[in-house]
Structure 1
Amino acid sequence: MTRHLPALEQLAGQPLIVGAGLAGLMTALSTTRRCVVLCAGRLEDVTPPPGSSVLAQGGMAAAVGPDDSPALHAADTLQAGAGLCDPQVVDRITRDGPAIITRLTDLGVKWDRQADGSLQLGLEAAHSRRRIAHAGEDATGAMIMRALVARVRQTPRITVIEHAHARDIVMHDGAVAGLRLAVSGRELTLPTTAVVLATGGVGSLFADTTNPAGATGSGLAIAARAGAVLGNMEFVQFHPTALSAGKEGQRLCLISEAVRGEGAILVDETGARFTEELATRDTVARAVWRHMMQGHRIYLDARKAVGADFPHHFPAIFALCQSHGIDPVTQPIPVRPAAHYHMGGVVVDMQGRTGITGLWAAGEVACTGLHGANRLASNSLLEAAAYGSWIGQALDGCTLPAPPSVMPVADMETVRPAPSQPYRRIMSHYAGVIRTGDGLLEGLQRLSADMRTDAGLICTTILYAALQRHESRGAHFRSDFPTSRDAGVSSGFTLPELRTRIASMVDTGIRSSLPEHERTPT
């Protein structure tokens, strides 16, 4: 394996894995084929992080405790998903949870263990059992990624191309034929008939987010332009306890739910407790947001529950707080909600396949059916590892045709400026923790003309999907439709369908094109 780009003819026809987080590296390690991993930065980088996997604090959910079972894990997942989970996907992933922990152990992950060698297991919101396996206490993501990066570096059949950014999939006769990308500013096209998108989420489209700067939905935009279906785009999970410190526009650091799992409470500036800390994330985030809108400052108080054990039990969070002049042993931690995880994405089946021949997706970019309307805490690392493994195995089990000898010319019109701060403020204001029809309409009117950019396209899909869901469910809450109204039918559309609908709305006037009950909510 090499860090440098070899001659293109050496890579032609190899599967291209776009993204070097947990889902991408598990895919590469789970196939026996020669393959190429595209990494946006340097593979070993932690600061700044190239993706979200390395930032994961709490851990990986799996039914490995003596009082637990995959059935209980599945039940908790379905409950949190508020009617939108795919029960078959939930069943398969929760049953595979223990085996995935073992597989990662074999790959070098050193889980935190009790004196008797059993896994230390944490408790997080909406879990009925302690089932969160962690490593390095509150540095699970970093520990997992360190082990997988080392294993990838030891695997000669895996080529890693660093500082690489996917631009668009090249299509031929309705199937994947190649990938346009930029490597250290050099534009090129790699021929392939297999692309795996593992590009992460959309958090950096919002003003306050726990996600790295690259989480702008570029993989979603690439898939949409290739013809893939996007589903459940309205469901953006806001974490209720991001550290409320730092400059505007900077990534907010997460104060893990595991801290609340150990008994920390949410209080305001008067010291009054105002919500149930271990309710589902959407419930807690809305409680925090409403209290903030009433003029209160919000704090996570771990002094009594964790106290002097904080530096040992949560060393990374302790160091983070200290870097901002906060001592969580003696002081409450200022927090606020921040965009954290996207349950929607590129619709895939249980093998990670999209509806486009030769295109797979795994991790946060994918809509698998596991999370439904509201992700259960620590299920995301489990899903990324599971789907990465399954896609790798699927690549071994299929015949990949050779790319066309003459590479089709890809569309070069799309532009990709990074979302500006005003752009992000629009999304936070109109598609944030609590939404309204009027706000979503205003957001659409301001952003739908910008669908040539990756960010404009994905922001528009989120706003449009949220406007079409005339109810509150899971992470999607509309104050004008505060209750659940239907059976929770999953939403999905292709880019041509979205463009047709948006064009019709613009031609007729966005408000007048809506159903009567949407124009005048009751």
Structure 2
Amino acid sequence: MSTHRCDILIIGSGTAGLALALKLSENGKVIVLAKESAGGTNSAMAQGGISAVMSEEDSFEAHLQDTLTAGAGLCKETVVRNYVEQAPDRIKDLTNWGVHFDVRRRGSEETNEVDLTREGGHSKRRILHFEDQTGLEIHRTLLARVRENPNITLMEKYYAIDLIVNKEVDPADMDPVTCIGCYALSKDTGEVHTFIAKNTALATGGAGKVYLYTSNWGGATGDGIAMAYRVGARIANLEFMQFHPTCLFHRESRNFLISEALRGEGGELIDSKGNAFMRKYHELGSLAPRDVVARSIDNEMKKTGAECVYLDMTKLDREFLKQRFPTIFNKCLEFGIDMSTQPIPVVPAAHYLCGGVLTDVSGRTDITGLWAIGETACTGLHGANRLASNSLLECLTTAHNCAEEIKKHWDSYKLTDKEPKAWTHPQESNDDEMIVINHMWDEIRRLMWNYMGIVRSNKRLERAQHRLKNILSETKEYYSNMKIHPDILELRNIAIVADLSVECALRRHESRGIHYNLDYPEKSKTAQDTIVVRGLN
């Protein structure tokens, strides 16, 4: 078993993890673990853009209020203000690293002014973008910087298994629970490696793969949340899984996102007869906050029995659509849909987790030496519903704040000289049982979609909880008795995250933001986080 030592261990290679690595690389040795190839991440799939006040017509106060409104009373205002007010500086970080954003055009000529668009829930145009693949532009630029940095070691195809805490190394240690690294499985060799660090940061992204239909990449299985839960960190607000209103509905495409930016540029949601329906549900129509739009689409589909609704872009110029949304335009053409002449069939899909590992504004968790940044963290920015394009912003602001806090106390961090216990695990594999594991994975995702979806009820949630308890028991048996395998690791994590999500939903006796329960249709007068802790649930 190989042991690797570093100053900072970052688990996850999305935008948050890469930004943190770059910010801390001048201070010491950094290791970044990528679950698959480093390009596999939700960040790279983000289409719309990143929000920041960049116009004289806009203000920090307006961005703050839009975020608080979307968050349905559950945001932490001090956190929102911190992130909103530093957003222009984080945009400067990106441009200094080499990220490009689209600029405004006057006729055929480009200007020096950044092009700002608007998305649902925003009162002003404040979304910077690069075509319709902003996340990819940011991620590939940061990744190139990381690869060329001599102080950063990027290790790809390493599946984090469990965090290592001080008590496991020395049971007599009287210090508070402290994270000192993790065990990780090399997908290429099948060997388990030990990573020891002064500080460990979880940047593992979201958990969309807990649901049957999702816009997320295949590795979004809530790994960081499950690992943090297992060592005793508080987990909060997992009932708030945001469903993106518009994923492409096509038998050959399960997770292609149709960006909210299309509605920001004038796209209209219509039914099969061509009738616009969003004004019935919200004064902002198709630009209403995502939770409202997703529920409205769900209601229209249930009311009519339709498999989908449609996003109509046909009033916009064809050349504008091809230039502004080239990726989406061409992807639709692959499936025989010309968005300049035909409405795009769309359905909601699990998209973004607003809850996660409970942290402060800098990503500090309950566990000494353990940080969580990006989507895997619950910082208080999003509350009960994320405002569009605040996600990439949070990746950068939490990475920045985390880096500043770690730098501030750099000399006080010590690397343990004690060796963790050797990793031991059964070496027997069983191909027949691996098939069952895949079936269990599928069962969890269907169960969550059917019982923990856009509209919920106590009866549905209780049914889900009952089955998930059995699956957790079965998963524990597989994990304990079979040779370690990536599929088992991911099943173990999604089972935990699914169970905690249902637990959080059952504890919330109201409807707020993304979470809508038929048995509690009203919003409570006071807003409270739903917090779960191992051993105290």
Q: 1:107 aligns with which of 94, 97, 101?
A: 97
* 1:158 has 2:147 as partner: no
Mapping of residues 247-396 of structure 1, within 5 Å: 247=252, 251-275=254-278, 276-294=285-303, 295-296=305-306, 297-396=308-407
- Whole-Å separation in 2 of the counterparts to 1:386 and 1:241: 27
- Whole-Å separation in 1 of the counterparts to 2:425 and 2:236: 26
Q: 1:125 aligns with which of 109, 115, 120?
A: 120
Contact 2:13 2:203 in 1 (8 A): yes
Q: CA deviation at 1:454?
A: 1.4
RMSD: 1.8
Query: Which region of structure 1 is more displaced relative to structure 2, 336-345 or 286-295?
Result: 286-295
Contact 1:63 1:70 in 2 (8 A): yes
- Whole-Å separation in 1 of the counterparts to 2:424 and 2:384: 34
Q: CA deviation at 1:397?
A: 2.1
Match of 2:224 in 1: 219
AA aligned to 1:348 is T
Match of 1:424 in 2: 445
AA aligned to 1:353 is R
AA aligned to 1:354 is T
TM-score (norm 1): 0.89
Tell me the alpha carbon deviations over residues 115-141 of structure 1, each in whole angstroms, 9 at most, x when there is no partner.
331110010001000000001x10101
Query: Which region of structure 1 is more displaced relative to structure 2, 416-425 or 217-226?
Result: 416-425
* 1:139 has 2:133 as partner: yes
TM-score (norm 2): 0.87
Q: 1:15 aligns with which of 5, 8, 22?
A: 8
- Whole-Å separation in 2 of the counterparts to 1:467 and 1:111: 43
AA aligned to 2:338 is D
Tell me the alpha carbon deviations over residues 155-191 of structure 1, each in whole angstroms, 9 at most, x when there is no partner.
1000000111110011114111221001122212122
Match of 1:381, SS? helix
Q: CA deviation at 1:94?
A: 0.1
Tell me the alpha carbon deviations over residues 304-331 of structure 1, each in whole angstroms, 9 at most, x when there is no partner.
1354421111000011111211110111
Contact 2:212 2:442 in 1 (8 A): yes
Contact 1:436 1:480 in 2 (8 A): yes
Aligned pair in 2 of structure 1 residues 479, 95: CA closer, same or farther (>3 Å)?
same
Tell me the alpha carbon deviations over residues 251-293 of structure 1, each in whole angstroms, 9 at most, x when there is no partner.
4111000000111111111111111100110000001001111
Q: CA deviation at 1:192?
A: 2.0
Tell me the alpha carbon deviations over residues 77-97 of structure 1, each in whole angstroms, 9 at most, x when there is no partner.
011101110011000000001
For structure 2, the residue ranges without an aligned partner over 5 or more in a row are 105-109, 168-176, 279-284, 427-432, 477-491
Q: CA deviation at 1:299?
A: 0.5
Match of 2:281 in 1: none
Contact 1:246 1:252 in 2 (8 A): no
Match of 1:193 in 2: 198
Match of 2:215 in 1: 210
Contact 1:235 1:344 in 2 (8 A): yes
Match of 1:56 in 2: 46
Q: 1:471 aligns with which of 505, 510, 521?
A: 510
Match of 2:485 in 1: none
In the alignment of these two chains, the number of paired residues is 482
Query: Which region of structure 1 is more displaced relative to structure 2, 85-94 or 189-198?
Result: 189-198
AA aligned to 1:16 is L
Match of 1:492 in 2: 531
- Whole-Å separation in 2 of the counterparts to 1:35 and 1:365: 20
- Whole-Å separation in 1 of the counterparts to 2:454 and 2:67: 21
AA aligned to 2:276 is R
Tell me the alpha carbon deviations over residues 328-372 of structure 1, each in whole angstroms, 9 at most, x when there is no partner.
011110000000000000001112110101100001100000000
